[in-house]
């Protein structure tokens, strides 16, 4: 049995493929770490691509009267056991793609990417965690990881949350 076939049966790919389907739920965005989130309904779909090697998450919602579209590709490079994602979004990213990666530990999808802030020397982190508490509920949470600034230590704050129910 190939590594991919094994992963599809008992590994990270089996978890990713459980997410396949149509989803509806709540979408929250925090623009300030301690601020009140902007909230809206979100609809999304997750489908397998390239013979189940990856899953593609596509979604849309409205935020402050602005239509938001996004997509993310999730997978695992089995040769090195690296979780990987590539995320684009009409609200957050502009023309940038957020690439994130991490070592696969216990088949939990938890990856980290990086981007520069207003000051090109400030490197921020962007952490994405995917959890599936049940077959009909999916949580995708993204965190801003603030760099050390003005003598304050680095810290993490919730930035985006998808709380989906299977449609």
The count of structural domains within the chain is 1
Q: Are 13 and 82 in contact (CB under 8 A)?
A: no
Q: Are 27 and 64 in contact (CB under 8 A)?
A: no
Per-residue model confidence (pLDDT) at position 152: 85
> The CATH number of the domain where 18 resides is what?
2.40.128.20
User: For each of the chain's 167 residues, which pLDDT tens digit applies?
Assistant: 899 999 999 999 999 999 999 999 999 999 999 999 999 999 999 999 999 999 999 999 998 889 999 999 999 999 999 999 999 999 877 889 999 999 999 899 999 999 988 888 889 999 999 999 999 999 999 999 999 878 888 899 999 999 999 99
Burial 61-70 (b: 16+ CB within 10 A, else e): bebeeeebeb
* CA 21 remoteness from chain centre: 16
pTM here is: 0.94
d(CA 152, CA 32): 16
Residues of the domain holding 8: 3-166
């Amino acid at each position: 049995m190939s590594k991919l076939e094994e992963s599809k049966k008992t590994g990270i790919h089996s978890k990713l493929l459980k997410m396949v389907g149509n989803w509806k739920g709540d979408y929250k965005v925090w623009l300030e770490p301690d601020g009140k989130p902007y909230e809206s309904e979100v609809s999304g779909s997750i489908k397998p691509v390239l013979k189940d090697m990856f899953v593609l998450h596509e979604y849309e919602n409205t935020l402050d009267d602005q239509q938001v579209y996004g997509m993310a590709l999730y997978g695992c490079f089995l040769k090195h056991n690296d979780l990987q994602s590539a995320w684009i979004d009409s609200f957050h990213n502009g023309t940038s793609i957020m690439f994130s990666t991490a070592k696969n530990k216990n088949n939990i999808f938890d990856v980290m990417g990086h981007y520069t802030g207003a000051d090109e020397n400030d490197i921020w982190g962007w952490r994405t965690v995917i959890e599936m508490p049940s077959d009909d509920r999916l949580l995708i949470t993204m965190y801003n990881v603030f760099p050390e600034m003005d003598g304050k230590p680095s810290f993490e704050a919730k930035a985006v949350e998808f709380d989906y129910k299977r449609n």
